Amino acid sequence: MFLAGERVRGRGRTVHALDPRTGKTLEPGYALGGAEDVDRAATAAAAAFRTFRRTTPEARAAFLDTIAATLQDRGEAVVARVQQETGIPEVRVRGELTRTANQLRLFAGVLRDGSATGVRIEPALPQRKPLPRPDLRQRRVPIGPVAVFGASNFPLAFSVAGGDTAAALAAGCPVVVKAHTSHPGTSELVGAVIAEAATEHGLPAGVFSLVFGDGREVGAALAAHPAIAAVGFTGSRSGGTALVAVAQARPVPIPVYAEMSSTNPVVLLPGALRERGAVIGEGLVASLTTSAGQLCTNPGLVLLVEGEGSGEFLESAAAAVRATPAAPMLSQAVGRAYREGVEALRTHPAVIEVATGQEDTSLAVPGTAHLFTTTAEAYATDEALHAEVFGATSLVVRVPAVADLHPLLEALEGQLTATVHVGEGDTATAAALVPVLEETVGRIVVNGWPTGVDVGAAIVHGGPFPATSDARSTSVGTLAIERFLRPVAYQDVPAGLLPAELRD
Bridge partner list, 233:
149, 258
Rule CB under 8 A: is residue 488 a binding residue for a copy of itself?
yes
Q: Which is nearer to a copy of itself, 364 or 467 (CB)?
A: 467
Q: CA-to-CA distance for 259 and 272, rounded, in angstroms?
A: 31
Question: Least distance (Å) from a copy of itself to the CB of residue 313?
Answer: 20
Residues 129-168 that bind a copy of itself (CB under 8 A): 130-131, 133-134, 136-138, 141, 143-144
Residues 208-247 that bind a copy of itself (CB under 8 A): 244-245
Bridge partner list, 257:
232
The three-class DSSP label of residue 259 is strand
Q: Which of 265, 367, 414, 423 binds a copy of itself (CB under 8 A)?
A: 414
Q: Which of 122, 308, 340, 424 binds a copy of itself (CB under 8 A)?
A: 122
Q: Per CB under 8 A, which region of 16-24, 127-135, 306-314, 383-391 contacts a copy of itself?
A: 127-135
Q: Contact at 8 Å (CB) between 343 and 356?
A: no
# of chain residues touching a copy of itself (CB under 8 A): 75
Which residue in 85, 173, 296, 388 is the catalytic one?
A: 296
Question: Least distance (Å) from a copy of itself to the CB of residue 140?
Answer: 9
Q: CA-to-CA distance for 241 and 160, rounded, in angstroms?
A: 21
Q: Which of 29, 253, 407, 425 binds a copy of itself (CB under 8 A)?
A: 253
Entry field: residues in the chain: 504
Q: Per CB under 8 A, which region of 285-293, 320-328, 372-380, 430-438 contacts a copy of itself?
A: 430-438
Q: Which is nearer to a copy of itself, 142 or 277 (CB)?
A: 142
Q: CA-to-CA distance for 60 and 201, rounded, in angstroms?
A: 9
Residues 255-274 that bind a copy of itself (CB under 8 A): 255
x-or-dash pattern for a copy of itself, window 308-327, by CB under 8 A? --------------------
Q: Which is nearer to a copy of itself, 84 or 417 (CB)?
A: 417
Rule CB under 8 A: is residue 438 a binding residue for a copy of itself?
yes
Rule CB under 8 A: is residue 383 a binding residue for a copy of itself?
no
Q: Per CB under 8 A, which region of 147-155, 156-164, 231-239, 474-482 contacts a copy of itself?
A: 474-482
Q: Which of 56, 362, 381, 491 binds a copy of itself (CB under 8 A)?
A: 491
Residues 44-83 that bind a copy of itself (CB under 8 A): 49-50, 53-54
Q: CA-to-CA distance for 280 and 286, rounded, in angstroms?
A: 10
Q: Per CB under 8 A, which region of 342-350, 356-364, 383-391, 432-440 contacts a copy of itself?
A: 432-440
Bridge partner list, 419:
266, 445
Which residue in 259, 306, 438, 439 is the catalytic one?
A: 259
Rule CB under 8 A: is residue 425 a binding residue for a copy of itself?
no
Rule CB under 8 A: is residue 470 a binding residue for a copy of itself?
yes
Do β-strands 208-211 and 485-491 pair in parallel, antiparallel, or remain unpaired?
unpaired
Q: Which of 457, 475, 503, 504 binds a copy of itself (CB under 8 A)?
A: 457
Q: Per CB under 8 A, which region of 70-78, 219-227, 305-313, 473-481 contacts a copy of itself?
A: 473-481
Neighbours of 207 (CB within 10 A): 31
Q: Which is nearer to a copy of itself, 255 or 328 (CB)?
A: 255
Rule CB under 8 A: is residue 411 a binding residue for a copy of itself?
no
Output phi, psi for 86, to 5 deg.
Answer: -125, -15
Q: Contact at 8 Å (CB) between 397 and 303?
A: yes
The maximal CA–CA distance of the chain, rounded, in angstroms, is 81
Residue at 35: amino acid letter: A
Q: CA-to-CA distance for 504 and 121, rounded, in angstroms?
A: 9
Question: Least distance (Å) from a copy of itself to the CB of residue 235?
Answer: 17
The three-class DSSP label of residue 121 is strand
Q: Contact at 8 Å (CB) between 180 and 150?
A: yes
Rule CB under 8 A: is residue 424 a binding residue for a copy of itself?
no
Residues 10-49 that bind a copy of itself (CB under 8 A): 49
Q: Which is nearer to a copy of itself, 8 or 305 (CB)?
A: 305
Rule CB under 8 A: is residue 387 a binding residue for a copy of itself?
no
Q: Which is nearer to a copy of itself, 195 or 267 (CB)?
A: 267
Q: Contact at 8 Å (CB) between 133 and 127?
A: no
Neighbours of 118 (CB within 10 A): 16
Q: Which is nearer to a copy of itself, 202 or 452 (CB)?
A: 452
Identify whether 259 is a catalytic site residue.
Answer: yes
Which strand (E) or helix (H) includes residue 436? helix 427-438
Neighbours of 443 (CB within 10 A): 23
First to last CA, the chain: 45
Q: At what angle do helices 75-86 and 184-200 cross, to 10 degrees?
A: 150
Rule CB under 8 A: is residue 442 a binding residue for a copy of itself?
yes
Q: CA-to-CA distance for 293 and 471, rounded, in angstroms?
A: 24
Burial of 248-270, coded b for 16+ CB within 10 Å and e otherwise, reads: eeeeeebbbbbbbbbbbbbbbbb
Identify whether 173 is a catalytic site residue.
Answer: no
Indicate which residues carry an active-site annotation. Answer: 259, 296
